[in-house]
Homo-oligomer: A and B are copies of this chain.
Amino acid sequence: MTKADIVSEISKSTGIDKASVLETLEKFMETVKDSLASGENVYLRGFGSFIVKTRSQKTARNISKNTTIIIPEHKIPAFKPAKVFMEQVK
């Protein structure tokens, strides 16, 4: 399912025009990204949480060049599905 598919489905079932639905979803995704980029998690009851995880520094091998490289500590975005979501997919 793509963004366009979701926009049509939402527009069809809510009666809200497609342009407004698309604009809302684009802004939603932008807001979630900006929130996590500024270190603030996003909690959506009944769906899940978008959270920031920290990956500690680690050494990795570049096999082709046979060298060791250090991957510095960094943050990654992650999603924790709500229990009801887990149950629905099980």
Contact = CB atoms under 8 A, between A and B. Distances in A.
Interface of A: 1-3, 6, 9-10, 13-14, 16, 20-21, 23-25, 27-29, 31-37, 40-48, 50, 52, 74-79, 81, 85-86, 88-90
Given A6-B28, A50-B79, A79-B81, 19 more contacts: A1-B35, A1-B41, A3-B45, A6-B31, A6-B42, A13-B27, A14-B24, A16-B20, A16-B24, A20-B24, A21-B24, A29-B44, A29-B46, A33-B85, A34-B88, A36-B89, A52-B89, A77-B85, A79-B79
A33 B88 contact: yes
A13 B24 CA distance: 10
